[in-house]
Structure formats: structure tokens, C-alpha cells
Amino acid sequence: MSGTYPNQGPQDIGGVEAGPVDTLDHGMKFWERQANSLRSVLQRNKIMRTDELRRAAEDLGPRYSQLAYFEITTSALRTVLLEKGLITEDELKAKMDEVRARFNVPDEMESPLKKGAAR
């Protein structure tokens, strides 16, 4: 049943032989729910359209099949935001460093949120 044709994109997998379907719904991680919501808000705010995000996802080429669903959509969003000039590479890199550092706060360290939640 499967076949290929010139310029077939990595997303074009209908009709390809594949294994059994895992029929369990594994749900979404918190960041994935948040990322989906961000995507939806950007579309509602008329910042971007579905087809722009899909084109950016399909342009991933061979990486497409190696990434998980929300890794694909996150990569696509990055591409479109950079293309539109809404963010720059440098800004994103700096902000990612900031977020990464925030995840590494040791337990002993004081933070207002932790204090607020102390019983």
C-alpha cells in the first residue's frame, strides 16, 4: 500500500505500513497543555495561522519523524516567530537561559513563592 512520490513531505504518511495503534490516551504534560493554549491564543489574536505553523513543521524534513508531537509544534512556533520578527534568536537564547536557570533553584534557596506556601 505504501509508496513514495517526488517532493513527499515528512508529514505525508497516510497509507504507509506501520505497527499497531496504542489505543491508550497518554494525556498531555503540563507544558504541552500550556504550549497548545499559547498556540491557540496566537491564532485568536491573529498573529499567525494554522497553515503557517504547518508549513514550518513540514519544513523540519527528516527531523519531523524523530520529534514528539509538541516538539514539532514548538519548533514550528519558533520558526514562525523568528520569521515574523516577533522575537530574535538572541532574545530567545537569553530567555531560555533564564528559564533553565529558574528550574535549577536548589531547595534550600529562599524564594517568595516557597515562603508563601510554607505551613
User: Which residues form the interface with another protein (CB under 8 A)?
Assistant: 1, 11-31, 33-38, 40-45, 47, 50-51, 54, 57, 65, 69-71, 74-75, 77-78, 81, 86-87, 91-92, 95-96, 98-100, 102-107, 111, 113-114, 116-117, 119
CA 8-70-102 angle, 5° bins: 140
Query: Smallest distance, Å, CB 5 to another protein?
Result: 14
Phi, psi of 39 (to 5 degrees): -60, -45
**What distance in Å separates the CA atoms of residue 67 and residue 46, rounded to the nearest whole number?**
27
| Shortest spacing between CB 61 and another protein, in angstroms | 15
CB of 9 to another protein, least distance (A): 8
Q: Which is nearer to another protein, 42 or 59 (CB)?
A: 42
Distance CA 45, CA 36 (A): 14
Q: Round to whole Å and give the CA distance between 34 and 36.
A: 5
